[in-house]
Chains A and B, each alone.
Chain A
Amino acid sequence: MTEVVSSADPGLSQPLLAKRTSKRWLISAVVTTAIVALPVLAVIFLALFPEENIWPHLISTTLPRYLITTIQLMVGVGALTLIIGLSTAWAVTMCDFPGRKFFEWALLLPFAVPAYVIAYVYTSLLDYAGPVQRALREWFGWQNASEYWFPEIRSLEGATLMIGLVLYPYVYLLGRAAFLEQSPSLFAVSRSLGHSALSTFFKVVLPIARPAIAVGLSLVLMETLNDFGTVDFFAVQTLTRGLFDTWMNLGNLGGAAQIATTMLIFVVILVTLERYSRRRQQQFAARDNRDPIRRFSMSFPRQMICVVVCAIPLILGFVIPGATLGYYAWEYFDVSWNPDFVRNTMNSLFLSGTAALTTLIIGVTLAYSRRLHNTKGMKVLMRLSSLGYAMPGAVLAVGVIVPLAGFDNWLDSLTRDYLGISTGLLLSGSAFALVFAYTVRFLAVSAGSVESALQKITPSMDMASRSLGHSPGKTLLNVHLPMLRGTLLTAALVVFVDCMKELPATLILRPFNYETLATYVYQFASDEQLYHSALPALIIVLAGIVPIILMSRSISNSRSMS
């Protein structure tokens, strides 16, 4: 029931491209991409009209350092998330140890902690004035900083650790879904051919999981690239630093858009390289659900190693920040308890839910059109639709305002001229603008994971369904979507939690008097008073946990049920 096909000619065979029926898919993909790409194009457009050419000044002063720091940060975070994400995903999928079921979902928890929150928490704990160093000084009788060495949390390494701790779940989630979808018989075959478990992992399991892992990693890297909160707080000088300087301090939005565009090129190169490296392979592994995963039974010391490997990221990425927030929430309960807080929670849930659903529908549309029309053009469309993810949220927000306000004002002039009424601003400054921004920003997450999962379904499935007279739409509904259930849930979960945490675009685009949990927390955090809003910060984390548990359950179940 399992086949692994390597073919030099990726793409589905000709009969599938029954031109007429699938034209609608092509058209909807083109239209969707055009709409979703508008904000990115708007930023590129802004880049054409800078107030002043910013590059000579940047090149002669800070640009080299910004570039090097950015690359160091991306390499560091990439390596860290791969190590944590893959080792834990492999352990909980394939090994049997006490607490495995608990770690299966608990390892996702750090994902619910926004990077700006974890950075704040660790700084307050670990910097010179924090409780850890103070306690050390008291115990050892040190008088000042020159008498001992302590790692500086506000540093490149510190930022790498913070960002890595909250982003590794991307790799974990997609890696685990990919491991689960692999047929255990593959593993058995490799072992029977004399490969050790370790060598099987590197020679069979990883290569098959690579498309999914690559998606996870590229999401991590893009998010690292556009992070502003953490690097700003830690005074780490990355390209985003230069971008915001140019925008806010020099008042040169065009120049900032140029830096954003340069960062996009960064991402395009990255993604292209990854695709290029596996251009010759395409794998179809039809999954056989009747064949349950046989986990290794291990000796006690080895089981303990598994527990430790899984416990470390959980404790550092979730337990410590959660407990610290809990402590602040308790200390400042009377100031942070607030009647608005139910309303803010509802706003967050509503926006994130709508955006997750929209993003999923569009993601499936795009990925499936790509399957039907495996052309260069479609490939470009897919990449174009994902670019929003690589842009700092605040810049993207401006990119969203440009087309939306443009449309509103155009419609308004039209109705004023012909009907004598003013429609005002219909879309900009509404919840629509927010959902649109989230969709543009997080489409990469859903489209990417759906695309990589679709790639692993053998085309013979499509052929069978189509030769039985089903339309492409019916085939998607009856064949692909059921097989993709785990992936779809994963994608929706990731987008949902991402939206809950999203801050810069939400701030700029929201309607009057409209607070989400994240914006509410930020009011105080931006005034150096996060402890005042520790309670809502804790709620963001908790609200992220519920869907994490629910969906993690269904992912595991998608394996045992069928």
Chain B
Amino acid sequence: MRMKLAATAAMALAAMPLSASADGEVNIYSYRQAYLLEPLLNAFTDETGIEANVVFAKQGLAERLEREGRNSPADVVMTVDISRINELVERDLVAGVETDTLSHNIPENLRHPEGKWYALTTRGRLIFASKERVEDGEITTYEELADPKWEDRICTRSGKHPYNIALISSMIAHHGEAETEEWLKGVKNNLARKPQGGDRDQIKAIAEGECDLSIGNSYYYGNMLKDENQRPIAQQVNLIFPNAEDRGTHVNISGISLTKSAPNKENAIKLMEFLSSPEAQRIYAEANTEYPANPEVKPTGIVAEWGDINPDDLSLQEIADHRNAAVKLVDRVDYDS
């Protein structure tokens, strides 16, 4: 009796939200919050009639995809951070896709050579400086963050956060591991407090006078300016595009990949092409104050006011390659303690 009941319940549950594979759908595993994608996906459905379904998580979607194998309902994976995207490639979970539209819309340095991923937006990792306590031009490069004159004046989030790991990887790519270790030790010595919180929290700490400099992604600052309650806080800092005069500012990407097992491959490619189109790029970049990957689309609003960004032309692949070294470096320097 009990077993029968349990079995019936199990079947009822299993049957309920059947994995979607009917025509007219595209299924997305997303490392980006669903609310960021919503306006875009609505526009996509309006234009093509294809329903877009989303699962959002910050961890474990690659594992889910891998285990589901050829039966996985997922058609595309949307990710942030180049290392995470690269992991999909290394684990052989994504397929190469090349179309004229995609190659036209997304520049070569922002896509995988075989089309295993395409960047959709880019964001700079910037330095934020107190308007009151830091002179214009007093700091212009990442390297200077290690200068002892900033002792007790810098705030950052955990060194282990993927965005900091990517920045450290780019330092390793430019300067080698030994020199980067010295640099990171210097930055650690300059910290005003133990690394904690998120990028916004560091800007808040500057506004309150706990520190004078912080590192953060451009869109956090942009989104704070958009929020009426947080605007006064954000307005107390200047943003600095580090290394603009030499190799360029470190940028990271958000991107999209086609899964190997995609049951709705055609729809998935339509979605990828749509997301790279000028129309979608405008919505996407604006929704989260990021830079569009499509060079035909000029940044608008707040992002446009910041002026042009000169991105570091180091290949994203190289950043991903140095990830493990960067993680171990953070442990060796004991950055987070």
Contact = CB atoms under 8 A, between A and B. Distances in A.
A476 B328 CA distance: 56
Nearest to B70: A409
A62 B63 contact: no
A28 B13 CA distance: 22
Given A425-B72, A430-B16, A508 B61 contact: yes
A512 B59 contact: no
Given A128-B208, A354-B13, A512-B54, A507 B60 contact: yes
B53 A513 contact: yes
B200 to A, nearest CB: 5
A282 B35 CA distance: 55
Interface in B248-276: none
Nearest to A28: B3
B21 interface: yes
Contacts, number: 181
Interface in A228-262: 233-235, 237, 244-245, 247-251, 253
A234 B196 contact: yes
Question: Looking at chain A's contact residues, is the secondary structure mostly helix, strand, loop, or mixed?
Answer: helix
Contacts of A397: 60
Interface string B193-207: 011111111001101
A424 B21 contact: yes
A248 B71 contact: no
Interface stretch (B143-151, B289-297, B329-337): B329-337
Given A128-B205, A128-B208, A523 B34 contact: yes
Of the candidates B10, B14, B210, B332, the one having the most CB atoms from chain A within 10 angstroms of its own CB is B14
A154 B194 contact: yes
Given A354-B9, A528-B200, A429 B73 contact: yes
B10 to A, nearest CB: 6
A475 to B, nearest CB: 16
Contact of A129 (B16, B158, B204): B204
B50 interface: no
Contacts of B20: 512
B2 interface: yes
Contacts of A430: 13-14, 16-19
Nearest to A232: B158
A237 B160 CA distance: 11
Contacts of A490: none
Contacts of A354: 9, 13
A562 interface: no
Contacts of A133: 208
B33 A61 contact: no
Nearest to A248: B59
Contacts of A405: 64, 67-69, 71
Contacts of A507: 56-60
B55 interface: yes
Contacts of B328: 57, 61
Interface residues of B, number: 70
Nearest to B36: A527
A432 interface: yes
A409 B65 CA distance: 13
B210 A427 contact: no
Interface string B6-38: 100110011011111100000100000111000
B176 interface: no
A511 B68 CA distance: 13
B209 A249 contact: no
Contacts of B34: 515, 523
Contacts of A422: 71
Nearest to B198: A528
Given A394-B60, A512-B55, A129 B210 contact: yes
Interface string A505-534: 001111111110001000110111100000
A481 interface: no
Given A358-B6, A511-B17, A398 B209 contact: no
B162 interface: yes
Contacts of A543: none
Contact of A143 (B3, B10, B197, B209): B209
Contacts of A331: 229
A145 interface: yes
B42 interface: no
Contacts of B317: none
B35 A512 contact: no
B55 A431 contact: no
Interface in A416-449: 422, 424-432, 435
A508 B13 contact: no
B209 A524 contact: no
A425 B17 contact: no
A527 B33 contact: yes
Interface in B155-202: 158, 160, 162, 165, 192, 194-201
A425 B19 contact: yes
B208 A129 contact: yes
* The 7 residue pairs across chains A and B that have the minimum distance between CB atoms: A512-B53, A508-B60, A507-B57, A405-B67, A61-B331, A235-B196, A432-B13
Interface of B: 2-3, 6, 9-10, 13-14, 16-21, 27, 33-35, 53-61, 63-64, 67-73, 83, 87, 90, 158, 160, 162, 165, 192, 194-201, 204-205, 207-210, 220, 223, 229, 233, 323-324, 327-328, 331-332, 334, 336-337
Interface of A: 28, 57, 61-62, 65, 123, 127-129, 133-134, 143-145, 154, 233-235, 237, 244-245, 247-251, 253, 331, 354, 358, 361, 365, 394, 397-398, 401-402, 405-406, 408-409, 412, 422, 424-432, 435, 504, 507-515, 519, 523-524, 526-529
23 contacts: A61-B331, A61-B334, A129-B205, A144-B210, A235-B158, A249-B327, A397-B60, A402-B67, A405-B64, A408-B71, A424-B73, A425-B19, A430-B19, A431-B14, A507-B59, A507-B60, A508-B57, A511-B55, A512-B55, A512-B73, A523-B34, A524-B33, A524-B35
Given A61-B334, A237-B337, A507-B57, 6 more contacts: A123-B197, A129-B233, A145-B192, A402-B67, A511-B19, A515-B34
